[in-house]
Chain A
Amino acid sequence: MGAFHAHEAEALAARYPDVFARSLRSRLTGWLIAAGIVAYFLFAWWFFSIGQVLANGNWGIAGIYMADWVSYEVRPDIEFRDNHLEISFPRFSPLGENPDPAWLVEKRAIVEIRPEEKGSVLTGAASPSGGFLGNLGGNEDTADESFLGALGGGQPNMRRTDEVSSETVLKTRREEAVVEASVSFGSGNRVDVFPERVEVTRGGEMLILDIVRDDRVEVRGPLPAWASQREPGAKVFVYFGFSGRAEIGNDEVTVRRRFLGWENFVFDTRSPFWGRPAGEVISLIVSGERLDPERSNAALAWNNFLNNAEWQHGDVWLKLLQTIVMAFAGTVLATLVAFPLSFAAARNISPNRVGNFVLKRFFDFLRSVDMLIWALFFTRGFGPGPLAGISAIFFTDTGTFGKLYSEALENIDEKQREGVRSVGAAPVSVQRYGVVPQVLPVFLSQSLYFWESNTRSATIIGAVGAGGIGLKLWEAMRTNTDWENVAYMVLLILLVVFVFDNISSALRRRLIGAEPGQH
């Protein structure tokens, strides 16, 4: 097939003019469809003002929220005093009542302590780090109006009061106190705090800050890329990536040290089992002396675990069970009700045209009044809780199943029915032996399919008010501080959906033979 001569080509083109005209047109349709989709996306971009919303988004916070899914922060405060330091942890610190972490090394010495003026060490003073969203690179405004406006507010940083007695003696006393604190951020990075100076080391670079107490923070030398200061003399922020960050102010250093993992997942800090290694806990449970004379250690451990204040295992599981029950009971009820109705709605089973029509429109009505509407109505009717969820799923799916079942009935093989009828069976027996064996696997398979998908629907309508894990998830999210709890619940939901998915498809495979395309 060599090249053509021009006149041959012309002759050929002349012989098949429509081929060339058509190929242009068919090519254009492709482009037109593509252009239409692009135009629609541009319209949507404008309609939802996506650009603006994305630009106003608080992306810094997104990273922190994501990190919160799998990690936690410990937030010691190091306050500057005359010639010593005072270290305090928030009251609900994940490290318990008396934290003494290895990454925070204190050096103590005997110093002369002059009494502080009253007021400057008030307990529970509004700390700059009060709210979790409080000070993330100056995004306070956007953060505050985010997400239904409900800020969890974190925990107020209550200072420990025992060190400063209320009847302050106006005399100096000699006492042992912290004179140097070193916070390690891993791989040689650290913050060393002295009463009048802070040294920050990161990746071989060192930043020295001089503290003029209750006045200003002076930076020696240029600021490295990992540190920031809004104006000279103001607070300095130093960042250590995932490991955390520190804010160095003129009165205190606020440290946020981040650790991978879910803290206190099994026992919270109030539990007597807290902080003990797993082996010890097990031996306590198996054979240890009773920690609580009222009950056995196993019962105590189980109780402490379920009532873990941070993770609320018991409540989460109960709510999950509610969701599962909603999906299960709703689907089963809908199946039971739709089953007889579908026989009445199928044209070939019950010959009453008016009845068929009315029932089918009724199914359509149930289906088209969305599950959301049913859920909202029944939440008003029954009050929030699984009953509302069950009813919503039941109403919607009665419509869906009725429609699917009656369609399946209308497609049955008439020969089997004739066979049964030919032996002189009563009408009910004809349905029982001529129809039900054919359609039952199909019916059950469809119900199983919806059982699995309803488990997911039940989560969502739960958030609308029907209760269950959906509502709990929603509540955990709106505080913006409990993302690790969200992660925990999501994991549980994924697990349940996977298990149900597998059960449902295994049962369906057994019912209707191997499905194509299953791996």
Chain B
Amino acid sequence: MLAIRHVTRRFGETTAVDKVDLEIAEGEMVGVIGRSGAGKSTLLRMINRLIDPSEGEISFQGTQVSALGGAALRRWQRDCAMIFQQFNLVPRLDVLTNVLLGRLNHRSTALNLLSVYSREERLKAIAALERLDIAQTALQRAGTLSGGQQQRVAIARALMQEPKVILADEPIASLDPLNAKVVMDSLADINAREGITVVTNLHTLDTARQYCSRIIGMARGSVVFDGAPEELTREAVHRIYGGEGRAEAIPEEITSTSIDTPLRPQGEQPRLEPALAG
């Protein structure tokens, strides 16, 4: 279980995340929504420890994550894969090497620097790529791929980490609707099949509704909503996005980018479409 207690993060005057308390059970698929600047990214980056909380603590399965340092911290980061809006791949290296970089923390630094990988590791990397349906690009430079393909490479890299948690910071914000669907489907599939906890920041309400079993709404650094998608009423949305006094003034961006947006029928589990059969 991932537990976040009283976590606060300040950047100078601004408080990006303000006394957040959350508990996320294993195997959950959590969507975090909120306006831009609400503190979503900061929250995720604190969980991965890309930045440190100013106050409060984060623990995972009883380990005090926010107190780790050095090699122990890097082991936690290995267990807690992160996916970025801008993919954050190494554009000049080929796709296969990018995926193999997910193994960095499983191996010795010397072997890493010499780029010596065993056949099994390479096989695993290709299997991961195959699962995301981009194995044919294995030898291309990552920088030459399209956005959707790059994001899938990033997910394959995350899989290579053999993580317990995947954090995704707006993974589909710079993708076209079709690619966005492929990426979200893959995340959902990983969540369903491997039982890996997925916490993802989303900027569109309907995607969150469609894929997540639990939605957390943030506004000005605080959690203002926490519940199942169906509990996300108009007022709740209003609280999250703060519609300047009028409930109908919800910004258009929140509801528009996805291609098929049927509201999930009440009580039904999200429809999982594995990215690849088998």
Contacts and interface: CB of A to CB of B under 8 A. Distances in A.
Do chains A and B stick together as partners? yes
Nearest to B139: A22
Contact of A4 (B115, B120, B162): B120
A1 B131 CA distance: 11
Contacts of A12: 123, 126-127, 130
B160 to A, nearest CB: 8
B120 A9 contact: yes
A516 interface: no
B135 A16 contact: yes
Task: Select the residue from B117, B139, B160 with max chain A CB neighbours within 10 A.
Answer: B139
B128 interface: yes
Contacts of B167: none
Interface in B94-121: 96, 114-117, 119-120
B115 A30 contact: yes
Interface in A49-84: none
B162 A27 contact: no
A128 to B, nearest CB: 56
Contacts of A15: 130, 135
Interface residues of B, number: 20
B10 interface: no
Contacts, number: 41
B159 A16 contact: no
Contacts of A13: 119, 123
A47 interface: no
B122 A20 contact: yes
A1 B124 contact: yes
Contacts of B96: 19, 23
B119 to A, nearest CB: 7
Contacts of B116: 27
A18 interface: yes
Nearest to B127: A12
A156 to B, nearest CB: 61
B250 interface: no
Given A1-B127, A13-B119, A15-B130, 17 more contacts: A1-B128, A1-B159, A1-B160, A3-B120, A4-B124, A9-B120, A9-B123, A12-B126, A12-B130, A13-B123, A16-B126, A16-B135, A18-B139, A19-B122, A19-B139, A20-B122, A23-B96
8 contacts: A1-B127, A1-B128, A9-B120, A9-B123, A12-B126, A16-B126, A18-B139, A20-B122
Interface of B: 96, 114-117, 119-120, 122-124, 126-128, 130, 135, 138-139, 159-160, 162
